[in-house]
Amino acid sequence: MHPDSGRKPIDAAFARELRAQLPAAVGVVTTRHGDELHGVTVTALLVASHIPPRVVVCLERPSRSAELVAASGVFAVHALSWSQMFLADRFAGRAPLVDPRFGGVPHRSGVTGAPLLANALAWLECRVVAAWPAGDHVVFLGEVVAAEAAAGGDALVHFRRRFHRLQG
Ligand SMILES: Cc1cc2nc3c(=O)[nH]c(=O)nc-3n(C[C@H](O)[C@H](O)[C@H](O)COP(=O)(O)O)c2cc1C
């Protein structure tokens, strides 16, 4: 057992360290509000229910993403493939030279108006049915209104602050 176990205060830095220990699928949440397209890299995502299909995403608050998803009431969540690592950096705001985030990124509009990124392992398009503040994040529950899955491809996973390739 770790000598500090149960004793270390769970401050913001330690909470990030704990999160870094959880291998997580890397996704991008997109939305459209009026003419504004937005996308954000996330690992806080999960399929919460199969029947009916429900998805949960957690977005930092305050943030442009949380504001726009709350205002539009729609979002699409994408599971990125290994070959889309550049999108994970782009939509985390780590590629300032190529802002705006959608510049040169192939996408089309879904039934909700949210942009759907081409070549993701899967995407699920959702309408927000509930939202709860959870500390420095907002938890959005979405009802899935459309979805698509790719036949193959390797997954992009985040673990210990690095991206990894998970063979499909
Ligand atoms: C691997 C990785 C995972 C992330 N996961 C989340 C997440 O689950 N929720 C979130 O709100 N931000 C997450 N972020 C941070 C956002 O992508 C980043 O802060 C983004 O610039 C926020 O954009 P916005 O300020 O336009 O909303 C993650 C970043 C990375 C690199």
Domains present along the chain, CATH in parentheses = 12-166 (2.30.110.10)
Closest ligand 1 atom, CA of 40? 17
Is the pLDDT at 71 greater than 80? The verdict is: yes
Mutate to test the pocket of ligand 1, among 56, 60, 77 (most ligand atoms within 8 A of CB): 60
| Ligand 1 touching residue 41 (CB < 6 A) | yes
Closest ligand 1 atom, CA of 92? 17
| Ligand 1 touching residue 133 (CB < 6 A) | no
Flag whether the pTM goes above 0.75. Answer: yes
What Å distances lie between residue 105 and 5, 45, 84, CA to CA? Answer: 44, 22, 11
Nearest CA-CA partner of 142 in 153, 154, 131: 131
Reported as a single tens digit per residue, the pLDDT across 82-103 is: 999 999 999 999 887 776 789 8
Chain mean pLDDT for the chain: 94
Confirm if 90 and 105 have CB atoms less than 8 A apart: yes
- Report residue 83 CA to chain centroid gap: 17
Is the pLDDT at 1 greater than 60? The verdict is: no
Q: Over 76-122, what HEC string results?
A: EEEECEHHHHHHHHHCCCCCHHHCCCCCCCCEEECCCCCEEECCCCE
